[in-house]
């Protein structure tokens, strides 16, 4: 019995840092830290534009302490998650110069989420307020 309690105590101690780094939005989007500068937004399913930007905004504000006017930059567009292996994830940063992200050429048509795309924390937060349209 003593060994069982010791094993349980060690397991919970080892898992505590993992749980502390996990972050989820109210709609179930996970956000994991890739390193000090890059974080990855991982939706439950394939993910929508809204889910990626909402997750980035919530993480930047609540975990990284970003201000409403701070800019969030896309490091890597939709691809495989490096932290979970899931097929749909987008990587973001608040420090584009330190990770080598340059703004994409500006044009009239932009499809999807591309490296260099950016918006303020406040702009991205607006995507959290959108609810899916349901028809009966």
Q: Give this prediction's pTM.
A: 0.78
- The answer to whether the beta carbons of residues 118 and 69 sit under 8 Å apart is no
Other CB atoms within 10 Å distance of the CB of residue 71: 16
- In the chain, which ranges are E strands? 23-24, 30-33, 38-42, 71-79, 89-93, 118-120
Tens digit of pLDDT for each residue in 72-122?
Answer: 999 999 999 999 999 999 999 999 999 998 877 776 666 789 999 999 999
How far, in Å, CA of 91 to CA of 41, rounded? 6
Select from 119, 85, 33 the least CA-distant residue to 41. 33
Predicted pLDDT of residue 47: 86
């Amino acid at each position: 019995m003593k060994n069982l309690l010791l094993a349980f105590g060690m397991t919970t101690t080892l898992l505590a840092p993992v749980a502390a780094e996990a972050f989820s939005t109210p709609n179930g989007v996970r956000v994991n830290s890739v390193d000090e500068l890059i974080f990855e937004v991982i939706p439950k399913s394939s993910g929508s534009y809204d889910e990626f930007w909402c997750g980035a905004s919530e993480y930047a504000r609540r975990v990284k302490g970003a201000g409403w006017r701070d800019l969030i930059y896309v490091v890597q567009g939709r691809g495989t998650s490096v932290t979970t292996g899931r097929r749909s994830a987008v990587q973001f940063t608040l420090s584009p110069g330190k990770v080598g992200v340059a703004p994409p050429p500006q044009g009239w048509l932009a499809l999807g989420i591309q490296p260099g795309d950016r918006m303020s924390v406040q702009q991205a937060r607006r995507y959290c307020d959108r609810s899916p349209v349901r028809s009966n």
